[in-house]
Amino acid sequence: FEGKLIQTPNGETIIDFGQNLAGYVEFTVFGKDGETIVLTHGESLDENGNFTTENFQDRKRHKEGGTYQMISYICKDGENHYKPRFTIMGFRYAKVETILDLSDATFIAHAVYSEMEETADFTCGNADVNQLVWNSKWSQKGNFCDVPTDCPTRERAAWTGDAGLYVDTGLMLMDSYNVYRKWLAQCRYGQYPEGKVANIAPPNSKGSFMTAMLAGSVGWGDACIIVPMAMYRKYGDVRILEENYEMMKNWYAFLESRAENNAIQSGIDYGEWCEPGTNPMMSMQNGNFDVATAYFAHSGETLSEIAAILGKEEDAAHYREVSENAKKAFEEIFTKDGVVESERQCQYIRPIQFGLVNEENCAKNAEKLNELVLANDYHLNTGFLTTPAICGILCEYGYEDTAFKLLLQESAPGWLYAVKKGATTIWETWDGINEEGKPSESLNHYSYGAITGWLIGGVCGIQQEGRKITIKPIACKELSHAKAVYDSPVGTIESGWKYEGNKITFEFVIPVNTVAEVVLPNGERHELAPGVHQF
């Protein structure tokens, strides 16, 4: 990305590379021996249009004064060409401090990330939604450098929870199998003797309350089961389950040690995390036992399925029984006759997403969820764990209109607010740059980009598991048209639709040596052979 020199209101010289990324700046300048040029890297301009790094500082935890991403270069006579080695920085802008004449200078930003071929794309008739997809891809690139980190600035930590909630989208958007596989080895390495999975893998410090004391938090540690299973479902390679089976068993044994009467009602967990309008520290003090018990049931069910795939029938039976008992305990303790009573959207999503109640009560919880979204004027109040699932669940139970209004919400908390504020990546919080233009927190956090998985897998309906392909699109007149292309492990799958008046035309491309089941919005079912099909 070629940099553009600009002057800020306070007189500073800034380079704008036009894209928030993780990488480095290569530059060529002309100077005299001993003259210096200093580049300080940041993600944003402040509310006054001046350079800032305040949004990713955390001086409460880092008493040395915060995070600085700086290059200080001393010139020789004549032309000076430089690019850093063995480092990356998170930035869109760089502040320049120098007496050099920059009229002939060049500044190029190079993005650095693990080798991942882009394998999916989504486009539609709404430019902001298309930008949202772009932002999701660039947050994945900005954070998948060797391991899947949360942000490339303040922490650069490979949090397990983020990896678990994003894995379906991450595997679809890019061929990131090897990144996840390598990272799972780090999870195995960092597992505690009692089975707890470190919340950050590899560990990036000696530990603190948020990392060491809360190691083994549900929703985070469960990634050791969720991620390998997602990889197996996509690629069908049983080795990823074999490599991680002992880690999964040890993790689940730790969960079983926490359980009393089939539910987890002790200990401290992160819970939903980053829910708008809530204090996560207060949430942790309340226990988050509903979240813990939900994951106890869900991970047990998944582990039972994994054990069966590996031919370990005794293990499979055990985990199945524990999971079923945990489901019953969840319904008894955290619902009233199978229906949740809460003002938080996430509380209704989890029992549906994990199948913790019967189908009739799933429908009732979905109805309550829809009512909450309407009452919140089509805004989200979900956090990290359930945001990826909300639109899909609303559509599954007949609330497509609500789901699309939620997707197209332009004020915070909503996906398009950041786009309207000029974001080129996904933010850590919904209002990373507030209405007054003041930035806060990380502006390159991939987690909420998981919505892109629903755009491809829901709006265009492409679902692939092993050699099984299902396409079940959901058309929306406000988007006018949509198309997804997925270069899957079994070949390139395409699904698209467009409105012409009240008529909808669908087109599908099915790869060779496969058969796809297609379900149209009117309920029609078709079994499609390889080739191009139009309805």
208 pLDDT above the threshold of 90: no
pLDDT given at position 278: 83
Query: pLDDT tens digits, residue range 474-510?
Result: 999 999 999 999 999 999 999 999 999 999 999 999 9
The residue whose two tokens read 């018990």 is: 293
Strand partners, 44: 52
d(CA 69, CA 77): 26
217-256: b (≥16 Cβ within 10 Å) or e: bbbbbbbbbbbbbbbbebbeeeebbeebbebbbbbbebbb
204-231 average pLDDT score: 83
Give the model's confidence band at 132: pLDDT under 50 very low, under 70 low, under 90 confident, else very high.
Answer: very high
Find the DSSP H helices in 238-288: 239-258, 280-285
In the chain, % helix, strand, coil (3-state, to 5) comes to 35, 25, 40
Judge contact between 348 and 369, C-beta under 8 A: yes
What phi and psi, each to the nearest 5 degrees, are found at residue 218?
-65, 155
Tokens of 455: 């755009």
210 pLDDT above the threshold of 70: no
Tokens of 297: 């049931």
For residue 312, give the nearest of 257, 249, 253, 256 by alpha carbon: 249
Mapped onto helix, strand or coil, the DSSP state of residue 14 is strand
283 pLDDT above the threshold of 90: no
40-51 average pLDDT score: 97
Tokens of 264: 């987890």
Judge contact between 102 and 458, C-beta under 8 A: no
Kindly state the helix (H) or strand (E) to which residue 127 belongs, with its residue range.
helix 127-143
User: Which of 140-144, 215-219, 362-366 has the weakest average pLDDT?
Assistant: 215-219
**pLDDT higher for 92 or 207?**
92
How many residues in the chain?
535
- Please give the C-alpha separations between residue 414 and each of 200, 407, 410, 423, 490, in angstroms, as whole numbers: 28, 7, 6, 13, 34
DSSP 197: P
User: Which of 270-274, 344-348, 359-363, 406-410 has the weakest average pLDDT?
Assistant: 270-274
373 pLDDT above the threshold of 60: yes
The Cβ-side half-sphere exposure at 147, using a 13 Å CA radius, reads 21
Judge contact between 529 and 518, C-beta under 8 A: no
pLDDT given at position 67: 72
**pLDDT higher for 377 or 203?**
377
pLDDT given at position 300: 98
Q: Find all residues with CB under 8 Å of 262, minimum gap 6, and list them.
A: 322, 325, 326, 328, 329
Kindly state the helix (H) or strand (E) to which residue 187 belongs, with its residue range.
helix 177-189
60 pLDDT above the threshold of 60: no
d(CA 326, CA 238): 27
pLDDT given at position 206: 63
Give the number of other CB atoms < 10 A from CB of residue 108: 16
d(CA 266, CA 416): 38
112-133 average pLDDT score: 98
Find the DSSP H helices in 310-380: 313-334, 345-353, 359-375
First-to-last C-alpha distance (Å) of the chain: 42
DSSP 400: H
d(CA 371, CA 145): 41
Judge contact between 109 and 25, C-beta under 8 A: yes
pLDDT given at position 267: 86
d(CA 254, CA 82): 51
Judge contact between 506 and 520, C-beta under 8 A: yes
35-53 average pLDDT score: 97
Report pTM.
0.96
